[in-house]
Structure 1
Amino acid sequence: MNGTKSDYSFNESIILQHVGRTKIANPDSVNLSFGFPAPDLLPIEALNHAASAALIRDNVDALHYTGGKGPELVKRWMLQRLRKFGIEADEDCYLAVYGANQGIELAARVLLNPGETVWVEASTYFNALHMFRYAGAEIEGFPVDHDGLDVDRVESALKQAVQSGGALPKFIYVMPNFQNPTGASMPLERRRRLAELAKYYNIFILEDDAYGELRFEGAHLPSVYSFAPERVIYLGTFSKTLGPGLRLGSVIAPNEVIRRMRCLTLDSPPSPVTQEILGWLLYNYDYDAQIERLNSRYRARRDAMTDAVRSEFGDAAAYTRPEGGFFLWLAFPRETDAGQLHRLAEDRGVSVVPGNPFYAAGGNSPFIRLCFSYCGESEIKRGVKLLGQAYFEHLNKL
């Protein structure tokens, strides 16, 4: 599918323009649409110190094509860190990328030919849908419930495809932890079963774990990768914990996949200077304390948002209470026009994202995504109140 002005963009801020964002510039608006981290929790002082120290340490090497020590330090740190998610990987199974989005794009380019099929969660991350379309893929969605992807439905579809001689997907794209947009998390047994299906049917899983560190309660669960490293491509990023502007993520995948991805990048790594800075930071900074700060703040904001939704909507909006991540996914009665509700909400001074961009088929869906990471608790409550007023105005027009 060729990119046109009607396509959804690769960038979170651009996608909001496509769904009608017009009042974000208003300083009085409450921005519950932004999938951004809390600005005051980004480690500006530590990064400033790390930048100075890294440039002093590696001097002009930091400014060369391959950089100095930084890229190697980041790689070693990441491979060690991922063990908390059950990932044991060799260095030749690692690739640094310009954020998780580039990892998705590279996976699509490596694995897909035009006309081949990708299976996704319905709903799912809209930028991933855009990249799969751009690769010429056919996209089929499978339901998400309060436990994430319905693996029973996936297994039934795989069996049916084999029995009918139909095409199997080249890969299944999933977000097991605090899924965007629903906030749902996949329990251990579903992860294990999905990995077993990948091995049995010889297909890949593309596991996007952008929010895995942001768990507010409960224990971290093993990644899908941990159950089938030969069939899973795992994506991670620093965007949600240290800052999206760093544009640094990682891919962990079988060596042959990594080799082909590296060829597509012309063996040109993400900014060596950024990796010099992060390499110094990661070995001289309390990253666990940063994660604790984020999770404490986001837990309080999630609770403020869910309390406000219950107060304003009662039984009119259903949701899964997320155990982490950034998002709350509101499900309204079927007759709700989320696009119109989105516009009414903007008129009242709160930005939200309607559900249709998160579905491969598009069209109207009675869902709204809210983000609780960006705004403070008082702003969240004000924004939900404004959304409630917009909803009941919309209800009176039906």
Structure 2
Amino acid sequence: MSLQPYSFAKRVPALSPIGAAQATSRSDLIPFSYGTPSSDLFPYQELQEAASAAILQEGRDSLQYAGADGPQIVQDWIANRSKLRSIHVQSNQVLVTYGSQQAIDYAARTLLEPGDHAWVEAPTYFGAVNTFKAAEAIITSFPIDENGLQIELVEEALKEAVRVGQPIPKFVYVMPNFHNPGGVSLSLSRRKRLAELAYEYNFFILEDDAYAELAFEREHIPAIYNFAPERVIYLSSFSKIIAPGIRLGWAIASADVIRRINTFFQGSMASVFSQEIVAQLFQKLSFEDHLEMLITRYKSSRDIMVEALRQHFGDGITFQIPNGGFFIWLKFPDHVNTADLVQDANERGVSFIAGNQFFVKPEGARYARLSFSYCNEEQIRKGVEILAHSYNSYLSKIK
């Protein structure tokens, strides 16, 4: 029998994986493209003990659909920890998900009908954009600067949409802390103004705060949620502070919104056994000591990359030094297209992500994202040197 062509759903974008999903078996490649935590920093011993305890102490219940006490302990921990960002909620306003990517997906499904409008930053996280495309949203982007999303441009666009009778976005997606890829944070005044606009024009804000804990100066600006709790869905993850393989993230919103998002679980819950392990982990791990170790390491890695970039690129590029997170966002001269560097850099032994991958419109050619989180000091110094050689070779060819 011959296999006939099949018409798949058009809402599923035919996109190749980017960044952390581009895992390779090539052992000598220095992966600045990996927006992932360092494997050296996972709390292996404590996780092993926590997993054993979840089986030995709570096994009968922890492996059932509803789990044992773990899900409630995790919800309570998230609600209590969120107070650092001026988020004051009950545990029933916390929904644990399979990573923050599922939280983004379920929130988008809850808010969007096909053809609705979603507004995002430029640049922005491509995983979220792909999710909004799959939901058949019409996506519009607005630039960021050193203080995050340029809210004044968003406000102008809202006024113009009302004036000409165009649709208001169902939500604005924003990364307020240590932006991926920009590395910047949204200023307090802009957080407040965006919250005011959400009430004035009746849209939601998806506040994706995956890197919030990795604040190198230990300063916590109030979340946007604090200023508009009825119009914000706050999203975060354990991936950056424990391990991505745990596959647990969360959404915080009003009880009504959480109830609506929760319908997509069809009466189930996200990985109750993983939640049992995390609950046990909190009893065995000094989280503040663990977090201090993460911040010390990532801050050091950032400083090493900044030093190497200045040494090998000099004034040929510009960038803002991030105060947290995983990323440095490089800006090259106008005539440079970093997409033309990717293959040569890979062949030389270093990977990065070209800037155009982070934009909805065809722009960003002169930018590149480097991650300092995954690699050790030797790899960072060597990788930046290799990237500089690749760049200089590129420049010699386009002169």
| Shared fold, TM over 0.5 | yes
CA distance in 2, matches of 1:160, 1:8: 36
CA distance in 1, matches of 2:64, 2:218: 44
CA distance in 1, matches of 2:157, 2:327: 29
DSSP-derived class of the 1:235 partner: strand
Partner of 1:388: 388
1:13 is aligned, of 7, 20, 38, to: 20
Partner of 1:287: 287
**Which letter maps to 1:178?**
F
CA distance in 2, matches of 1:79, 1:284: 20
DSSP-derived class of the 1:81 partner: helix
**Which letter maps to 2:77?**
W
In 2 relative to 1, CA 73–364 (structure 1 residues): closer, same or farther, beyond 3 Å? Answer: closer
In 2 relative to 1, CA 151–4 (structure 1 residues): closer, same or farther, beyond 3 Å? Answer: closer
Partner of 2:12: 3
- Structure 2: gaps (5+ residues): 1-9
Partner of 1:278: 278
DSSP-derived class of the 1:37 partner: coil
Contact map agreement 1:8 1:130 (CA 8 A) in 2: no
DSSP-derived class of the 1:322 partner: coil
Partner of 1:239: 239
After superposition, the C-alpha distances for 1:303-334 in whole angstroms (9 at most, x for unaligned) are 01111111111121111110000000111112
Partner of 1:372: 372
Partner of 1:256: 256
- Deviation, 1:28, is 1.9
Partner of 1:223: 223
Contact map agreement 2:11 2:135 (CA 8 A) in 1: no
Partner of 2:4: none
DSSP-derived class of the 2:328 partner: strand
CA distance in 1, matches of 2:310, 2:12: 40
- What TM-score do you get using the length of structure 1 for normalisation? 0.95
- Deviation, 1:388, is 0.6
Contact map agreement 1:339 1:364 (CA 8 A) in 2: no
CA distance in 1, matches of 2:213, 2:115: 35
- Deviation, 1:364, is 6.0
- Deviation, 1:228, is 0.7
DSSP-derived class of the 1:220 partner: coil
Contact map agreement 1:151 1:194 (CA 8 A) in 2: yes
Say if 2:77 is the partner of 1:77.
yes
**Which letter maps to 2:99?**
G
Alignment of 1:1-398 (within 5 A): 1-5=10-14, 7-9=15-17, 12-14=19-21, 16=22, 24-217=24-217, 219-362=219-362, 365-398=365-398
- Deviation, 1:51, is 1.1
Contact map agreement 1:345 1:386 (CA 8 A) in 2: yes
**Which letter maps to 1:3?**
V
Contact map agreement 1:94 1:252 (CA 8 A) in 2: yes
Contact map agreement 1:8 1:126 (CA 8 A) in 2: no
CA distance in 1, matches of 2:163, 2:214: 41
DSSP-derived class of the 1:35 partner: coil
**Which letter maps to 2:93?**
C
CA distance in 2, matches of 1:3, 1:291: 38
After superposition, the C-alpha distances for 1:62-81 in whole angstroms (9 at most, x for unaligned) are 11111111001101111101
The sequence identity of aligned pairs, in percent, is 44
After superposition, the C-alpha distances for 1:110-153 in whole angstroms (9 at most, x for unaligned) are 10011111110000000000000000001111001111111111
DSSP-derived class of the 1:360 partner: coil
CA distance in 2, matches of 1:126, 1:63: 34
CA distance in 2, matches of 1:337, 1:39: 32
**Which letter maps to 1:315?**
D
CA distance in 2, matches of 1:197, 1:371: 33
Q: How many residues align?
A: 389
DSSP-derived class of the 1:143 partner: strand
DSSP-derived class of the 2:233 partner: strand
DSSP-derived class of the 1:329 partner: strand
Contact map agreement 1:96 1:248 (CA 8 A) in 2: yes
- What TM-score do you get using the length of structure 2 for normalisation? 0.95
- Structure 1: gaps (5+ residues): 18-23
After superposition, the C-alpha distances for 1:346-392 in whole angstroms (9 at most, x for unaligned) are 12110111112211124661111100000011210110111111111
CA RMSD of aligned residues (A): 1.4
Partner of 1:21: none
In 2 relative to 1, CA 178–364 (structure 1 residues): closer, same or farther, beyond 3 Å? Answer: closer
DSSP-derived class of the 2:341 partner: helix
In 2 relative to 1, CA 218–77 (structure 1 residues): closer, same or farther, beyond 3 Å? Answer: closer
- Deviation, 1:4, is 4.6
CA distance in 1, matches of 2:188, 2:177: 11
Contact map agreement 1:8 1:127 (CA 8 A) in 2: no
**Which letter maps to 2:12?**
G
- Deviation, 1:2, is 3.1
CA distance in 1, matches of 2:54, 2:20: 31
DSSP-derived class of the 1:186 partner: coil
